[in-house]
């Protein structure tokens, strides 16, 4: 097919006038059955480089993509052009996925988007046996490389797949963010027959700013004052999940339309937010970097980071979504020297201790185990278990196998010993990248040039689009008015305890504060572990405030409290005082059936639940039958204890149980 012929098809099918030269260069190779790595910036039109050939090939093109949002978006677009495109992902029901797999088997799907993890699925593998496959595409190919900013173990398998594919099958790997090192890594892994096409990464329409501050409060105040003044709508990236919550509550308090977005949301909420974003329903979306926001929205007008990312490449990737339409877009990075600690702790704490690795290896050597079983055997949390598993798979020490539809881990005989030097090298590389990110803050030269250089784009450009090269610098001055607003907000905002379930009559409760983000945590710690006496009165006041805010004038019949493990009568005394103020009777009849270990020694939720299972009872069931009950505790962590008690009280006939605690921990999932 000549370019001229192809462009006639292009006009007819895609309603686009012509290809860019670099697009055609890639497409020509693909039509010849070659393998191509395409590195082009966001907005270049990478997707067309596989969508076009896919539309002219006879069979089905399979696209591995880690971004469900992006899959959905592209499928919508292709469908509107009359090209049969579908996606298979974990957010659809198994029935929906099976239906699509069936259509693919019958040759009814031209373009099929799937997550790399699907390669673990039996039904999918069996379906591929009946499919007529034309091409394989690896989107976000930087995920292949451990040196990239978003390494994903499932991509390793895609590399292995590519190596097994017949020689004449075209393969396209695409990314917008690959340093030279990542590029070489991808090329080396895929093998000798791949050619690279690299475009320039300069984004002329960006206006780049760095705002230096001295506290979290300064960020909150500047944003509260200035977000409404920024043109259009955009994205605010925060460092943690808790921060997305705090920022959205703050904006809510100020009447700025916004919504939070993080990996903890269910699929339905995420889809609703993505759709709302497309329709500019909010001034801003507040998100963690857990989601690449793989959304083809042309007019994201600003992207602001309240937290410094781990590396310039993370940063380039995250700001890359702004201004795809080429119109001016504002890019702001806040930096408080303290902020360095979070990415540092990610890097330093990214790897569990060697002992934990050994514990996992020893467990898998004796038994074929699934993830849950592995967590129980080793008393490790989900996050370290995942990291350890991925590393051990990567190092060829264990492998994943499917046993009766369940994923299990098996030891590989004669495998090499754990290589901790590899972790060390990676850790040092990451610390160096973080230093480069700090250097971006400090640079007095062009910020865009800094990013392009870092990414290996050495082409010459006129760089005049940042606060070092012509744009006015942003300086933060907090007015007393804003200081006042912020402190009023702080005293009116209380974290929610999500405990509602169909298994008990519990309702969502409230905490007076987050543990660790204010003086509340320190006060609790003093009392519990340093013989500091009863919980101080300011905690009682704050808890009462939180209670009123959450439950208003709702009536309760009885106050009960969680019986202690070891810290004596602190909670009992606190509950008595609390009940006295509210003029509700307090009961001492919730008791332990057996001694339990302190919850904090268990590192994962299944073990915590097991520790407290069937360990409580209520001595006078009659007094709670049909009653509304307030359940008091000091610290809410995994919620396992509160939920267990909720079940017990429900079984004894309590009509409603509302937990109220002094502090909720930030722990658990950060992003």
Partner 1 sequence: MTNEAAYWIALAHLPKWGHLKINNLIIKFFHENQISIIDFFSLSEYDWRKTYLLDDKQVTDLKQAKAELASNAFLAESFLSQGYEIIPITSPEYSKTLKKNLKTAHAPAVLYVKGNKKILNEQSIAIVGSRAASEKSLAFTDNVAKKASIDYKVVVSGFAKGVDKQALDSAIKYKGQSVIVLPQGIMTFASGFKTYYSQIINGDVLVVSTFFPKAPWKTELAMARNPIIYGLADEIYVAESSEKGGTWSGVIDGLRKGRKIYVRKPEAAEKNANNILIEKGAVPVDFSGREIAKAYPVLESQPVSMVQEPDESDSLDTKIRLAIDGRALTAKELLAKLALDWTAQKLNNYLKKLDFIEIVKEKKTNQYKLKGSKATTQSILFT
Residues forming the site for partner 1 (CB under 8 A): 119-120, 125-126, 128-133, 136, 157, 160-161, 163-169, 365-368, 399-404, 408, 410-414
- Least Å distance, CB 155 to partner 1, is 12
Nearer to partner 1, 60 or 233 (CB): 60
- Least Å distance, CB 221 to partner 1, is 52
- Among candidate residues 402, 407, 406, the one with its CA nearest the CA of residue 389: 407
Nearer to partner 1, 135 or 176 (CB): 135
Nearer to partner 1, 116 or 239 (CB): 116
CA dist 540 → 51, 445, 662 (Å): 62, 53, 8
Nearer to partner 1, 187 or 278 (CB): 187
- Least Å distance, CB 66 to partner 1, is 18
Q: Cα(313)–Cα(292) distance, rounded to whole angstroms?
A: 13
- Among candidate residues 455, 459, 519, 502, the one with its CA nearest the CA of residue 662: 519
Nearer to partner 1, 122 or 501 (CB): 122
- Least Å distance, CB 393 to partner 1, is 9
Would you tell me how many other CB atoms lie within 10 Å of the CB of residue 297?
18
What secondary structure does DSSP assign to 589-644, as a single string? Answer: -EEESS----GGG--SHHHHHHHHTT-EEES-GGGGTT-EEEEEEEEESS-HHHHH
- Least Å distance, CB 639 to partner 1, is 34
What secondary structure does DSSP assign to 160-206, as a single string? Answer: HHHHHS-TTS-EEEEES---HHHHHHHHHHH-TTEEEEE-----TTE
Dihedral, 523, 527, 528, 529 alpha carbons, nearest 10: 90
Nearer to partner 1, 132 or 614 (CB): 132
**Residue showing tokens 């939720």:** 605
The DSSP code for 173 is E
- Least Å distance, CB 374 to partner 1, is 14
In angstroms, what is the C-alpha Rg of the chain? 28
Nearer to partner 1, 120 or 281 (CB): 120
- Least Å distance, CB 124 to partner 1, is 8
Here the tokens at position 13 are 């099918």
Nearer to partner 1, 80 or 414 (CB): 414
227-253 b/e with 16+ CB inside 10 Å = b? beebebbbbbbbbbbbbbbbbbbbbeb
**Residue showing tokens 């082409």:** 459
- Least Å distance, CB 120 to partner 1, is 8
Nearer to partner 1, 125 or 580 (CB): 125
Here the tokens at position 511 are 């905490």
- Least Å distance, CB 85 to partner 1, is 19
- List beta partners, residue 631: 560, 659
Q: How many residues does the chain have?
A: 671
**Residue showing tokens 């451990």:** 146
């Amino acid at each position: 097919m000549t370019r001229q012929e192809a462009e006639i098809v292009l006009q007819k099918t895609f309603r686009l006038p012509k290809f860019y030269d670099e697009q055609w260069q890639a497409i020509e190779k693909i039509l010849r059955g070659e393998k191509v790595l395409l590195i082009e910036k966001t907005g270049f039109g990478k997707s067309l480089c596989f969508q076009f050939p896919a539309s002219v090939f006879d069979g089905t093109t399979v696209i591995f993509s880690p971004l469900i949002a992006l899959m959905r978006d592209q499928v919508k677009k292709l469908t509107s052009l009359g090209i049969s495109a579908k996606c298979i992902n974990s957010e659809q029901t198994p029935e929906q996925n099976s239906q699509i797999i069936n259509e693919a088997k019958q040759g009814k799907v031209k373009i099929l988007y799937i997550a790399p993890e699907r390669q673990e699925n039996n039904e999918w593998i069996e379906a591929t046996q009946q499919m007529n496959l034309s091409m394989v595409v690896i989107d976000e190919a930087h995920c292949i490389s451990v040196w990239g900013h978003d390494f994903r173990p499932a991509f390793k398998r895609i590399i292995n797949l590519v190596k097994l594919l017949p020689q004449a099958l075209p393969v396209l790997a695409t990314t917008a963010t690959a340093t030279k090192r990542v590029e070489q890594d991808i090329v080396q892994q895929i093998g000798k027959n791949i050619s690279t096409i690299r475009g320039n990464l300069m984004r002329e329409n960006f206006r780049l700013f760095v705002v230096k501050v001295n506290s979290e409060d300064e960020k909150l105040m500047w944003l509260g004052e200035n977000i409404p003044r920024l043109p259009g709508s955009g994205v605010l990236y925060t460092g943690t999940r808790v921060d997305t919550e705090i920022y959205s509550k703050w904006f809510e308090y100020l009447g700025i339309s916004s919504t939070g977005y993080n990996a903890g949301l269910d699929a339905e909420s995420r889809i609703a937010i993505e759709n709302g974003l497309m329709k500019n329903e909010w001034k801003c979306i507040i998100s963690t970097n857990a989601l690449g926001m793989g959304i083809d929205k042309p007019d994201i007008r600003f992207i602001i980071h309240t937290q410094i990312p781990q590396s310039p490449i993370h940063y380039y990737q995250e700001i890359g979504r702004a201004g795809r339409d080429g119109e001016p877009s504002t890019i702001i990075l806040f930096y408080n020297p303290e902020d360095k600690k979070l990415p540092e702790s990610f890097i330093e704490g990214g790897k569990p201790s060697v002992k934990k690795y050994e514990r996992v290896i020893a467990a898998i050597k004796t038994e074929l185990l699934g993830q849950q079983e592995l967590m129980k055997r080793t008393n490790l949390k989900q996050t370290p278990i995942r990291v350890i598993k991925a590393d051990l798979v990567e190092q060829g020490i264990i492998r994943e196998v499917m046993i009766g539809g369940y994923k299990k881990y098996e030891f590989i005989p004669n495998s090499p010993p754990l290589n901790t030097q590899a972790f060390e090298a990676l850790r040092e590389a990451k610390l160096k990248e973080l230093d480069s990110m700090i250097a971006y803050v400090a640079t007095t030269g062009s910020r865009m040039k800094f990013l392009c250089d870092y990414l290996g784009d050495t082409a010459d450009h006129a760089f005049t689009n940042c606060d070092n090269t012509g744009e006015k610098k942003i300086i933060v001055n907090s007015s007393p008015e804003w200081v006042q607003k912020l402190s009023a907000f702080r005293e009116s905002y209380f974290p929610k305890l999500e405990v509602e379930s169909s298994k008990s009559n519990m309702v969502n409760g409230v905490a007076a504060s987050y543990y660790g983000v204010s003086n509340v945590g320190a006060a609790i710690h003093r009392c519990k572990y340093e013989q500091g006496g009863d919980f101080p009165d300011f905690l009682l006041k704050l808890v009462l405030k939180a209670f009123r805010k959450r439950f208003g004038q709702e009536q309760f019949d009885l106050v009960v409290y969680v019986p202690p493990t070891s810290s004596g009568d602190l909670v009992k005394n606190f509950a008595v005082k609390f009940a006295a103020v509210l003029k509700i009777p307090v009961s001492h009849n919730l008791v332990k059936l057996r001694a339990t270990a302190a919850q904090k020694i268990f590192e994962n939720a299944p073990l915590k639940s097991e520790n407290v299972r069937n360990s409580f009872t209520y001595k006078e069931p009659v007094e709670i039958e049909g009653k509304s009950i307030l359940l008091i505790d000091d610290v809410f962590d995994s919620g396992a204890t509160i939920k267990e008690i909720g079940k017990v009280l429900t079984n004894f006939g309590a009509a409603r149980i509302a937990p109220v605690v002094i502090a909720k921990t930030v722990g658990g999932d950060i992003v």
